[in-house]
């Protein structure tokens, strides 16, 4: 994917990134405590899509280890050099995934959040066998039934989760959702948490810049935060 003009012209602003990261971490810890949870149960994924590698490097320098990207090509461009140089770095792919990107995705990602359909399960299984890579997987559920969004529909979720676990075993670690922009996100987060409980899955990837505190109150274990760390896109 070509960079947008902004990603080339705006400096990374390492101090701003470090300050905003510290603020987001503090808000995560407070939200966890308010919910009676251990802040260490909530992992912050810094979403660096559209932002330059220099911004990722600035966040790394400020102690951030987990990053999220939407697009395989963009993630490859940014993280191929960074990953070997930063042993603790964990890369999450959080965008809808095309089957023809499965091989690159399993080679690059530590965690894929968007397993959402049988054909993608087939493609990922084949890619893992071929590449010898075993990323952990989350199943994305389209809790708002939005036609333009990826995610398995709610009423197909139970069967799909069972099939994926039978196939991938312990690599399936949890569930992910992106509530509709116009909705109160809480009922979506609560639905996802109940679904994970029903299946004995421990990870819940939910909450973004606008709603990560609500997500933590509902049990999020991974929050995906971009704008509040790196600034507007």
Ligand X SMILES: *Cc1c(COP(=O)(O)O)cnc(C)c1O
Residues that bind ligand X (CB under 6 A): 47, 49, 70, 94-95, 178, 208-210, 224-228
Q: How far is the CB of 37 from ligand X (least distance, A)?
A: 21
Q: Which is nearer to ligand X, 191 or 212 (CB)?
A: 212
Q: How far is the CB of 47 from ligand X (least distance, A)?
A: 4
Q: How far is the CB of 151 from ligand X (least distance, A)?
A: 10
Q: Which is nearer to ligand X, 40 or 181 (CB)?
A: 181
* Distance of alpha carbon 135 from alpha carbon 137, whole angstroms: 6
Per the rule left: phi > 0, alpha: psi between -120 and 50, beta: everything else, 63 is left
Q: Which is nearer to ligand X, 36 or 143 (CB)?
A: 143
CA-closest candidate to residue 114, choices 69, 52, 76: 69
Q: Where are the alpha helices (DSSP H) in the chain?
A: 5-9, 14-34, 53-61, 72-85, 102-108, 118-131, 154-168, 186-199, 212-217, 227-230
Q: Which is nearer to ligand X, 95 or 219 (CB)?
A: 95
Q: Which residue is nearest to ligand X (CB)?
A: 226
Which DSSP state fits 100?
G
CB 204 within 8 A of CB 222: yes
Q: How far is the CB of 81 from ligand X (least distance, A)?
A: 22
Q: How far is the CB of 9 from ligand X (least distance, A)?
A: 20
CA-closest candidate to residue 225, choices 28, 10, 76: 28
Q: Which is nearer to ligand X, 129 or 210 (CB)?
A: 210
């Amino acid at each position: 994917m070509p960079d947008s003009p902004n990603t080339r012209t705006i400096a990374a602003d390492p101090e701003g990134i470090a300050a905003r990261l510290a603020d987001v971490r503090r808000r995560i810890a407070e939200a966890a405590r308010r919910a009676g949870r251990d802040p260490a149960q909530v992992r912050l994924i810094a979403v660096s899509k559209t932002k330059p590698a220099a911004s990722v490097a600035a966040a790394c320098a400020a102690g951030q280890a987990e990053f999220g990207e939407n697009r395989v090509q963009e993630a490859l461009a940014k993280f191929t050099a960074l990953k070997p140089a930063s042993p603790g770095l964990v890369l999450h792919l959080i965008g809808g995934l095309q089957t023809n990107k499965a091989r690159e995705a399993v080679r690059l990602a530590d965690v894929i959040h968007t397993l959402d359909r049988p054909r993608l399960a087939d493609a990922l299984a084949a890619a893992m066998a071929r590449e010898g890579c075993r990323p952990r997987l989350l199943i994305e559920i389209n809790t708002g039934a939005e036609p333009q969004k990826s995610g398995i529909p709610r009423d197909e979720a139970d069967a799909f989760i069972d099939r994926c676990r039978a196939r991938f075993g312990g690599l399936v670690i949890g569930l992910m959702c992106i509530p509709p922009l116009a909705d109160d996100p809480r009922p979506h987060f609560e639905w996802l948490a109940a679904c994970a409980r029903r299946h004995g899955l421990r990870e819940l990837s939910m909450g973004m810049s606008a709603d990560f505190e609500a997500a933590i109150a509902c049990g999020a274990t991974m929050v995906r935060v971009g704008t509040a760390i790196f600034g507007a896109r």
